[in-house]
Structure 1
Amino acid sequence: MIELASVIGDLREELDRAVGAAEGEALRFELGPIELELSVALERSAQAQAKVRFLVVDSGADVGLGKTSTQRISLTLKPTLAGSHRPVAVSGNAEPNER
């Protein structure tokens, strides 16, 4: 399992690479809303300052016993570039190691 914040951070890094790859390309794609549907485990700590963590569950992974329950959540993210109101464009080119 991985924390939801890490999943979103990894997605941000991938999108940032795609935006960078679009520089100077003739063919680009406008980046619209991103919809994620995830299975998450809600884990509540038993400490005095109880905190709930959202952990993304791998497909086929068993969630351990304890104070963990699994839920499905849907998120819609609308990507923007800091300081810009222009549409975000990404390249259709794959990195050499992604082909």
Structure 2
Amino acid sequence: MSGFEEIELSAAVRAIREQLTLAAQEGENSPIRFGVGPIQMEFAVELRREAGAKGGVKAWVVSAEAEAKRSQGTTHRVSFTLTPTDAATGRDIEIGDHRPAGVSRFGRSGDGN
């Protein structure tokens, strides 16, 4: 798997979680909030048995370029849906834009009306 940085599937999901957490924190006091709905993720992965004391099988995310170089027999498509919730409240996560927003152009058409 040379030519690109290997990323474990768990690290890819962790990155999404961290980015959503950051967006929620940045938008905490924003007057405009967005609910986060289900997140659909799909990856090409290579399953590899790891040697060593802990052993086990790990799923590594494969880039599109690397996937094209491998046969279908060694890569697998994995897709799943995540529904993010606040661990403390069980409610849906909301994120906001950290930049000030205005509503002055809401409802206006492009012709100046």
Q: TM-score, normalised by structure 1?
A: 0.77
CA distance in 2, matches of 1:83, 1:8: 20
- 1:1-99 to structure 2, matched below 5 A, reads 1-45=6-50, 51-61=56-66, 69-93=74-98
Unpaired runs of 5+ residues, structure 1, are: 95-99
Please say which structure displays the higher CA radius of gyration. Answer: 2
**2:44·2:67 contact (CA, 8 Å) conserved in 1?**
no
Structure 2 residue runs of 5 or longer lacking an equivalent are 1-5, 100-113
Aligned-residue CA RMSD (Å): 2.6
Q: Which runs of 4+ in 1 moved over 3 A?
A: 45-50, 62-65
Whether the 8 Å CA contact 1:43–1:69 is kept in 2: the answer is: no
Give the % identical residues.
35
Aligned length: 92
Q: Which protein is richer in strand relative to its size?
A: 1
**SS in structure 2 at match of 1:85:** coil
Question: How far apart in 2 are the matches of 1:8 and 1:86?
Answer: 20
Per-residue deviation at 1:91? Answer: 1.4
Aligned AA (2:60): L
